[in-house]
């Protein structure tokens, strides 16, 4: 019974807290721009409204158009449950769970692109092609960051990998992971979640034909993914495993809040990069993670 309650409480943390992060980002952007902006809880209102609406389906769409967002949401939630929360460890923890985490994130992206192609729209196909092409470099950065943590800790379990600090390469890893966070969550300067211009849309174009509960699943899954990468970034560079439980929780919450505010500041102070510059920026993030890997490898062999 205790195990069930623990699982349910952690699941509720991911499901209920995640929509708060986009609201904080929007408030930071509004504050920098000198305007009032939407409420912090705006995404909660949007999700509640979308769940009450009907679904508009294309005549060309197969059941995969609805199944895609559902499977992608389940994959992101499962990946989030693998992520440790401070000293409490992961909800689903086992040896090699980090490999499953990478595959679950890839599955979510595949299902989102698959659902976009189900509409038969060349416009959404263009967005899906851009999404998966950028994902090649972003996933390489994620895998390299995982290798850094694996070399540093000597294990392939997330709970053990994220306990100690990343060592001397923590700054490189932090910057690299932050760039990956922006790319994986379709934020500025890689993408603009608020744009509706044909020549600049990537992720948003893939969900233009979604409505009702499927669109709610897409938006909620994106919020959970943002929180997942924020938690990963904080735990990868800070030695939460060496702290007491209460202190680790406080540092984790403060770190996630700091990352969220940093995303809002980046979106306020930078413009979206041209498509030809995005691969170069993603390559820079990969190289930062690679240099951190070299530092961890040389430091361990010294």
Statement: residue 300 has pLDDT above 70: no
**Mean pLDDT within 91-109:** 92
The dihedral formed by the CA atoms of 236, 237, 241 and 246, expressed in degrees to the nearest 10: -110
pTM for the predicted model, two decimal places: 0.95
What pLDDT digit, counting tens, does each position of 102-154 carry? 999 999 999 999 999 988 888 888 888 888 988 988 999 999 999 999 998 88
Q: What are phi and psi of 244, to 5 degrees?
A: -70, 160
Statement: residue 200 has pLDDT above 70: no
């Amino acid at each position: 019974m205790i195990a069930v309650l623990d699982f349910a409480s952690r699941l509720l943390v991911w499901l209920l807290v995640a929509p708060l992060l986009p609201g904080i980002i929007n408030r930071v952007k509004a504050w920098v721009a000198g305007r009032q902006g939407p409420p912090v809880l705006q995404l909660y209102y949007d999700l509640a409204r979308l769940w009450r609406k009907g679904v508009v389906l294309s005549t060309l769409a197969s059941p995969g158009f609805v199944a895609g967002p559902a499977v992608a949401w389940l994959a992101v939630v499962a990946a989030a449950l693998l992520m440790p929360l401070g000293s409490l460890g992961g909800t689903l923890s086992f040896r090699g769970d980090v490999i499953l985490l990478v595959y679950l994130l890839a599955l979510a992206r595949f299902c989102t692109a698959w659902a976009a192609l189900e509409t038969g729209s060349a416009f959404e196909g263009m967005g899906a092609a851009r999404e998966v092409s950028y994902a090649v470099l972003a996933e390489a950065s994620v895998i390299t960051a995982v290798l850094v943590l694996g070399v540093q800790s000597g294990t392939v379990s997330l709970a053990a990998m994220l306990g100690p600090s990343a060592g001397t390469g923590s700054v490189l890893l932090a910057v690299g992971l932050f760039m990956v966070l922006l790319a994986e969550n379709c934020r500025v300067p890689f993408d603009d979640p608020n744009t509706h211009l044909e020549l600049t849309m990537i992720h948003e174009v893939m969900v233009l034909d979604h409505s009702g509960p499927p669109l709610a699943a897409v938006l909620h899954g994106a919020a959970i993914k943002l929180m997942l990468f924020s938690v990963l970034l904080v735990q990868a560079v800070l030695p939460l495993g060496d702290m007491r439980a209460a202190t680790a929780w406080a540092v984790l919450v403060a770190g996630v809040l700091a990352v969220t505010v940093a995303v809002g500041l980046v979106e306020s102070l930078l413009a979206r990069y041209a498509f030809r510059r995005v691969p170069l920026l993603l390559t820079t993030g990969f190289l930062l993670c690679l240099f951190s890997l070299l530092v961890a490898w040389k430091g361990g062999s010294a």
